[in-house]
């Protein structure tokens, strides 16, 4: 299946086509990939790299937001292929997710019961991933040499060690699954795949305070003029969580 490549800002592309979005950044020193989708997304990511005008050997960083199979599925294969082509392709993961990634398992169990739990157990192999060896762990507040300073933000809630990335010069937020935009409906991480809904709300409030212009998520279209929309959904979500 061909990738749908959506320009976000100059040099930044959203890779769509599967169930999750990945983001490719063509920076001055090469390429940076945020999240690595499902195993089947490898072809889409390679198409995006080819369309960028760079080569696979120019992939210098793979940044992971959290240890879910739909975000790390082809990370190891991409890294191996890029290194075989002569590149560096350093794999960097949130410190709070590193142990789970090294063990090849998600960092939290889904909160499901009854037949839904059975169905999820049957589908688990679809989201399985092999143990992943990282080159570096990411700490809260760390500035990465990407987009004139890409800040790492600890945003637990969806998973215990989930992180997001903020490019202040572009007012651009890569929120992973801290926010979602299914069907064009923006929301905060909640439901059975959220480790801690109160922590997720706290993280959403933190991200909202950045007032980004552009919001990029793991699921759904990019949101522009994002700050007012984020504020609305955070306010509504806070009311639901606090009134239980």
CA 219 – CA 50 distance, rounded (Å): 23
| 243 Cβ contact partners less than 8 Å away, ≥ 6 residues apart | none
Q: pLDDT > 90: what percent of the chain? A: 82
Q: Is the pTM of this model over 0.75?
A: yes
Percent of the chain surpassing pLDDT 70: 93
Digit-coded pLDDT (tens) for 171-192: 999 999 999 998 889 999 998 8
What domains appear along the chain, each with residue ranges and CATH number?
A: 4-105+132-243 (3.60.15.10)
């Amino acid at each position: 299946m061909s990738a749908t490549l959506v320009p976000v800002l100059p040099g930044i592309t959203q890779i769509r086509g599967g169930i999750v979005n990945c983001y490719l950044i063509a920076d001055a020193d090469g390429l940076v990939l945020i999240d690595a989708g499902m195993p089947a997304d490898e072809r889409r990511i390679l198409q995006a790299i080819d369309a960028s005008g760079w080569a696979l050997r120019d992939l210098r960083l793979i940044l992971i937001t959290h240890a879910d199979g739909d975000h790390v599925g082809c990370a190891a294969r991409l890294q191996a292929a890029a290194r075989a082509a002569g590149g560096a392709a350093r794999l960097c993961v949130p410190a709070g997710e590193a142990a789970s990634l090294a063990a090849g398992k998600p960092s939290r169990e889904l909160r499901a019961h009854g037949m839904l739990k059975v169905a999820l157990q049957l589908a688990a192999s679809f989201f399985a991933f092999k143990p992943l060896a990282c080159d570096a762990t990411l700490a809260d507040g760390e500035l990465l040499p990407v987009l004139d300073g890409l800040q790492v933000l600890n945003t637990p809630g969806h998973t215990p060690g989930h992180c997001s990335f903020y490019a202040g010069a572009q007012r651009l937020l890569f929120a992973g699954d801290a926010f979602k935009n299914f069907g064009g409906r923006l929301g905060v991480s909640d439901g059975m795949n959220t480790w801690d809904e109160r922590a997720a709300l706290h993280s959403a409030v933190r991200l909202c305070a950045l007032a980004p212009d552009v919001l990029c998520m793991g699921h759904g279209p990019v949101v522009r003029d994002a700050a007012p929309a984020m504020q609305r959904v955070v306010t509504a979500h806070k009311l639901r969580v606090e009134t239980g």
